[in-house]
Chains A and B, each alone.
Chain A
Amino acid sequence: MSGAIQKRDTVLPAPLGKAKGRAERMGASTSEFLAFELAGERFALPLGSVREILKLSPITEVPRAPRDVLGILSVRGRITTVIDLRKRLRMPPCEPTKVSRVLLVDNGDEILGLLVDQVYQVYRLHEDELELAAVVAGDLSDYVYGIGRPGGLEREGGGDDIMILLDPEPLLRR
């Protein structure tokens, strides 16, 4: 499968014991993430960075645009550039499907659309369910903020809902 799986395999367990204790004591420090699928992988962006989720409407291609720009569409009269997130993350491209969605995100300069394969759900992750970055190697490292493990490290198997948390700032900056 894709390179992202291997990268997840290279994740080193971070010393989280201290953080976990604090989270339990205070019952706070939760963050919300919107999880979505790209090429069979589960990714997530901080919920606060996502303004809106759109169903796919016809996208107009822009000749001469950067390779990972899918095209433009009109969101309530505003021309919005849509980026194919697969291409930006150097994953194999594929045609959008019925469940494909466009996430509207604000990069400070403009609102961008990000095409994803499918949107899952919002996760509330405690501090002890987050492994912060510097642990993911390879191409993606610039964009990755950490790993999210709903249920925490102790949960046996770790399971399907492990997600790669993307850092919107470097991801959208280019």
Chain B
Amino acid sequence: MSEDEDGVRAEFIAEAQEIIELLSRDLLVLDHGQKEGHPDPDLVNSVFRGVHTLKGIAGMFGFNDLGEVAHVLEDLLDQLRLGRTDLSQNVLDVLFEGVEVLQRLLGSAPDAPRPDLDAFFRKVGGELGGAPVVEPDLGAFGIDTGVLSVLTEYEEHRLKTNIDQGVPLYRVRVKYALTSIDTDLEDLKTRAKPIAEIITYLPSMDGGDDDAIELEVLLASRATADELKIALALSDDAELEAVAKREPSATIPPPARVPTQTPASPPTKHPSAPLAPSRDAGADALSLRAVAKTVRVDIGKLDHLMNVVGELAIVKSGVGRLLDRLRGDPEQRALIAELHRIHRGFERHLDDLQDGVLDVRMVPLGQTFDRLARAVRQVARDHGKEVRLAVSGADTEVDKLIVEELTDPLLHLIRNAIDHGIEPGDIRERRGKSRTGTLALNAYQKGNHVVIEIEDDGAGMDEELIVQSAVARGAIAAEGSADLARVDKLELIFLAGVSTAEEVSDLSGRGVGMDVVKTHIARLGGVIDVHSQLEVGTKFTITLPITLAIISALVVRAAGRTYCIPLTVVQEALLLDPADVRTVEGREVITLRGATLPICRIAQLFGLTPQAHDDERRGKEYVVVTSLGQRRVGLVVSGLEGQQDIIIKPLGKSLRKVRGFAGATDLGDQRVVLVLDAPSLLEELFLGGEARAARAGASA
């Protein structure tokens, strides 16, 4: 395949992916609406259009299987939106399965063997062709036959449904300037949405002049005329009247679907009127416009931009240093002032640029949450459990790279929660809980971090079972395991091979997973904590940096070397009083505001030998209090140089096995400085301690 074709293919996949995600989101809302008893017909139509578009582009790019699946889904959706099939849970199941199938087809290689779609096609076929609907007589209403004759099939269906449900109809005449009609109409639709359904709008026959056009809008609403007037912000010259049901009369001809059968009245659609094309085409045009406003960019290009920003920051600090050197010179005062001004301006714009580039990388977590919501539905059904998903903070933004890497760990946690956490309905009732379990997915920003919580109100975890499992698998020594704090016992589930599930299910409980989840999160510079209470529930809290690209760091010195510590893990820094240091179980600790804080000397940890010109050897020492999740440690350094924004760059592959460093950064004065990897250091310090304790226990 040529590069061009690859590019086109990638473009298709990206677009199809977007559509599928949108479909999934709409279906979830629809599912919710169906359960509550009033599904939004607009959503059915939106899903229909999405599938329709997907069918079109799939055909264009030769994704025939995908196109075929989209086609049968389109048929089903068409029947749904026209009311020929009822939106039942069964139908929704088929639709959700359809989205899964589409996703799978999109993910598979172009030359992969054709999957067996027949079973799915049969399922869709089973839902097609429901009972015929009893149609109300549209002619019984005071609606212009000219209007009736040009309704699209969908519009006609909506009109009938509203009449069926006894929703009063209104006719509104509004006049819009030709220049602003698009935005005016959008505005009207938005205003109408909460209280009324717009069935159709057509240019009226008599109104309108060269600059303005008069529209006749047919509305269905349970609100009163006055309420509508206010809600729609209608101007005084707009007419609003209720469409009354006429006395049964034989004089009105039955509504005709085909315009050619229309009696006397000429077609109301003026060919040159901007609203002339059918509504579906109008929607397509809208979506095309939306696409034109966004650009898909390879994240690599953004990384490159970020690098350029970094280089510029180095240039900036170079100029700054030059300025400092010039400052003493009284003869250059005017020049210095000018240079200072330029430098400040440069700094400001550079900050803007940096913010801009970072902003581009940010995407809302909502996309990931939608995928998870689909999984929740699926897993819950597979296990015959009733689960309600409560999502909050879907608009929380995170670096694109982080979002990509998050899906798998989150999926794993959610499966665990449904499989092991949430109990079957009967057991829940016996425990005095509602039959339906709740799985909450919350995201929010907290300083430079994003916190994601996965919380279930299920069975909770038995820490003694975890300890037994950990001991059985040799992850920890049996001796002393009983003395572990409760929190530490729960943390054992993150060790490889440890599981709480007594029985192995196909989904989770095989003892692989939680350690992988933890590794995944740690690779993103994040941490995961767990809280659990038996019969009350379990909550996992994931704390992640917002971006991987630029971070603020504390620049410190140890044994004559300079290191950076990401500020996100630094709680505070304070002077170390040697008199405060005590030794507990072979480890140095200090007491900080009543709490014991283990300390760790960077120079010792890294085996640094003092350098010849190291004048700090007998000087002051500082404690940088570092925390991640529930763990804290004080890193002892010999100097604090201040705070700086840095771009972390990866170390080369030959240094990949070196633990303790997240990367290196260029501080701008030709100094390359290592950035400490706080998660791995904390883990090393704490696990090291546990390993020592375990060894001590074993030899005792």
Contacts and interface: CB of A to CB of B under 8 A. Distances in A.
Nearest to B561: A61
Contacts, number: 70
A60 B560 CA distance: 11
Interface string A104-121: 000001111000000000
B672 A60 contact: yes
B664 interface: yes
A79 B307 contact: no
B652 A60 contact: no
A62 B651 CA distance: 10
A97 interface: no
Given A60-B674, A62-B658, A77 B664 contact: no
B654 A81 contact: yes
B672 A65 contact: no
Interface residues of A, number: 24
Contact of A79 (B606, B652, B660, B670): B652
A65 B666 CA distance: 19
Interface residues of B, number: 26
A48 B645 CA distance: 38
B651 A72 contact: yes
A63 B660 contact: yes
A59 B664 CA distance: 12
Contacts of A78: 649
A64 interface: yes
A110 B672 contact: no
Interface string B397-427: 0000000000000000000000000000000
A69 B606 contact: no
A80 interface: yes
Given A58-B670, A62-B651, A112-B654, A72 B607 contact: no
A73 interface: yes
Contacts of A80: 652
B663 interface: yes
A115 B672 CA distance: 17
Contacts of B311: 77
Nearest to A64: B658
Q: Chain B binding site: helix, strand, loop or mixed by DSSP?
A: mixed
Given A60-B673, A62-B655, A112-B652, A77 B310 contact: yes
Interface of B: 307, 310-311, 561, 606-608, 649-655, 658-661, 663-664, 666, 670-674
The 3 tightest CB contacts between A and B, nearest first, are A63-B606, A81-B652, A110-B652
Contacts of A79: 649-652, 663-664, 672
B653 A109 contact: yes
A104 to B, nearest CB: 12
A110 B649 contact: no
A64 B671 contact: no
Contacts of B608: 63
A57 B651 CA distance: 18
A29 interface: no
Nearest to A173: B654
A30 interface: no
A74 interface: yes
Contacts of B649: 77-79
Contacts of B658: 62-65
A81 B664 CA distance: 11
Contacts of A83: 654
Given A64-B659, A65-B655, A77-B649, A58 B671 contact: yes
A64 B606 contact: yes
B647 to A, nearest CB: 9
Interface string A75-93: 0011111010000000000
A140 B659 CA distance: 30
A109 B652 CA distance: 9
Given A60-B672, A63-B608, A64-B607, 19 more contacts: A57-B670, A58-B672, A60-B671, A61-B561, A62-B674, A63-B606, A63-B658, A64-B606, A64-B660, A65-B658, A69-B655, A72-B672, A74-B664, A74-B672, A78-B649, A79-B651, A81-B651, A83-B654, A111-B652
A77 B606 contact: no
A63 B651 CA distance: 13
Nearest to B650: A79
7 contacts: A58-B671, A62-B651, A72-B674, A74-B666, A79-B649, A110-B653, A110-B654
Nearest to A172: B654
A72 B606 CA distance: 16
